Amino acid sequence: MQERLKIDQPRWDQRTFSGRLRHFLSMTDPRNCLASNKKLYEAKTLLELYRNGIEPVGTTEKDVWKAKKIYESAFHPDSGELQNILGRMSFQVPGGMAITGCLLQFYRTNTAVIFWQWFNQSFNAFVNYTNRNAQSDITKSQLLGAYVSATSAALVTALGLKRALSKNSSSLVQRCVPFVATAAANMVNIPLMRQSEIKNGIQCYDENGNKVVKSKYAAVKGISQVVVSRITMAAPGMLLVPVIMENLEKLRWMQRFKRYGVVTQTLLVGCFLLFMTPTACALFPQQSSISTGKLSLLDANRLKEMKDTFSYGKSESLYFNKGL
């Protein structure tokens, strides 16, 4: 009898970087964006049927893995809800390359800086909200506060550095300002967007998937990893493309086609994001973990409750979804 596929677990070993990379190469594949809602729900249905052992006759392993790839690219891992296409990680390459290309091209005037930084933070806020941990509750006022704070951080950083560097710095240095602004905004946007997790803790489970406790320490760890991943994702494209463009623009043929500069930058950014999106997502395990003893750092009361109810010591490690 053929062994059943473990479709509720990642296809590749998530304990290794290479396994996580293959997993996210599949999940962030931009071609997943082309799948219609009908195809997405067909994939979901096939997985449900397979899980119950009543899949259609003739269903192959290839069909199941393909359905899993499509499903994971569009449905939230916690809630199972269909995500808006603009917030999916599979849209990071087409969406990110277009916005980043414009950020790098239109950096000379304050109006352009303000508009594209606002546009970028609007996109980032939507992505962060879409990929948050589904167990967290956040109010509309908190969402608005996170959005305004991140946009303000990006604008203050971008305009401040632009003014400071405008007279004494090369155009190459000025072209790197958007990255600094984006990094600063990520350090504000993501923690504020997920502030309820920091205040109330993120749900942690034992190795069998049973709920154990909500941990603030786990929330801080998970959110910190997401911030690092997002900055890493953007860094190569936003730092190396300006260097490439500085050299390309010195060539005669490029000087004749300056109007296509934004197209060139956008395509170059896309090449970087195509590989950096899954690479950055793979830096840390999606299902992150903490040792039970770490609860003493930010969750002393909950650790005491666990000891009082004899649940302490049953699991050496606790697991949680860090989000993307």
Place of tokens 């560097």: 165
CA distance 268 to 177: 18
pLDDT given for residue 191 in this prediction: 85
DSSP for 224-240? Answer: HHHHHHHHHHHHHHHHH
CA distance 324 to 320: 12
Q: Report CA torsion sign: 134, 136, 140, 144.
A: negative
Which pairing describes strands 317-321 and 211-215: parallel, antiparallel, or unpaired? Answer: unpaired
CB 5 within 8 A of CB 61: yes
CA 248: distance to chain centroid? 31
For each successive 10 residues of the chain (324 residues), what is the average pLDDT?
78 90 89 90 92 87 91 84 87 87 81 87 81 67 79 82 73 78 81 82 83 86 92 88 82 71 84 90 89 79 70 71 81
pLDDT given for residue 1 in this prediction: 43
Residue type at position 263: V
CB 273 within 8 A of CB 96: yes
CB 104 within 8 A of CB 242: yes
CA distance 151 to 114: 9
Kindly report the pTM of this predicted structure: 0.79
- SS3 label, residue 311: coil
Residue type at position 184: A
Q: CB atoms < 10 A from the CB of 282, how many?
A: 22
CB 201 within 8 A of CB 133: no
Torsion-angle region of 82 (φ positive above 0: left; ψ -120 to 50: alpha; else: beta): beta
